[in-house]
Structure 1
Amino acid sequence: MAEEQEKAAAKKPPKKEKPPAVEDKPFGEFMEQHFTPALQAAFAKQGIENVELAFENKPLPKSFGVQESCWQVEGKWQKGDRQFNLYYFDESITGAKGFSSSTYGKPPSTLESFMIDERKVTLDLMVLYTLQRLNGEKWLGRN
């Protein structure tokens, strides 16, 4: 019986190691190489062209009354008439995040929490939540 088990174990191919998830990459690398291109593709799928996405560390808008800076994804389209920002306060996709939007070049008036209830943050969820939030502004189509 033990011989049969040994033969069966010898026939099994060795377990393949899973490559690390893209979300496990360093923050900047993940955002630049995975999130912003995936978000750009999602906008194109929605029929929204000419979206400018930028990922950079810069100060929060003055309208928030805070002089902190953090990593941000800024999106603009319709010649800047529509703009949104995703804020990453902890330089991590799993840390504290915020969202703001504005129109016609005006500064945003509200900083909202973003993706606060997610236990596991994935690339697909980040794109989905961003689109859902923009759809809530009725920017992606008719509701």
Structure 2
Amino acid sequence: MAEAEKKAADAAPAAKPKEKKPKLEDKPFAEFIQQDYLPALEKALAAKDISDLQLNFADNNITGEWLNGTRQFTVYFPEGDIKKQRAFSWSNTGSNPSTIEPFLGDERKITLDLLVFGVVQRLDAQKWLGGN
């Protein structure tokens, strides 16, 4: 009888583990920025009453400006990787950008939502977002 059980166990196909869906953040850098980050950032800032936002992605930097260019921010990814060094700067009314500051430097796990939240939080601290 033990031999019959062994044959039945051998005949049963092994259950395949479910394939994990790749995380957005694991996409190639430029693809992630253009397909996921820029649309999510635009949506989050539109929810804060910024209607004329212009977002540009070039040289591993994202620049956003609105109010006819009088308010501007830049998110820097010097190594072309969201999980590596990041920085942030802002400028107002045609002035030179602020000091380049570390951006989410203490965070170990960088996600799309965290990257969007970080920009919204920085701009809100400047009192640039609706109702401040």
Do both proteins adopt the same fold according to a TM-score greater than 0.5, normalized to the shorter chain?
Answer: yes
Look up the match of 2:29. Answer: 27
Runs of 4+ aligned structure 1 residues displaced above 3 Å come to 12-15
Structure 2, unaligned stretches of length 5 or more?
none
| Superposition TM-score, scaled by structure 2 size | 0.86
| Superposition TM-score, scaled by structure 1 size | 0.79
Task: Tell me the amino acid that sits aligned with residue 55 of structure 1.
Answer: F
Look up the match of 1:61. Answer: none
| Structure 2 SS opposite 1:53 | strand
Higher strand proportion: 1
How many angstroms apart in 1 are the aligned matches of 2:72 and 2:112?
21
Look up the match of 1:45. Answer: 47
Q: 2:49, 2:130 within 8 Å by CA — same for their partners in 1?
A: no
Matched positions, count: 125
Task: Tell me the amino acid that sits aligned with residue 37 of structure 1.
Answer: P
Report the aligned-residue RMSD: 2.0
Residue 16 of structure 1: how far off its partner (Å): 2.1
Structure 1, unaligned stretches of length 5 or more?
58-70
Q: 2:63, 2:74 within 8 Å by CA — same for their partners in 1?
A: yes
| 44 and 109 in structure 1: CA distance in 2 versus 1, 3 angstrom threshold | closer
Task: Tell me the amino acid that sits aligned with residue 89 of structure 2.
Answer: S
Look up the match of 2:95. Answer: 106
Query: Identity of paired residues, percent?
Result: 46
Larger Rg: 2
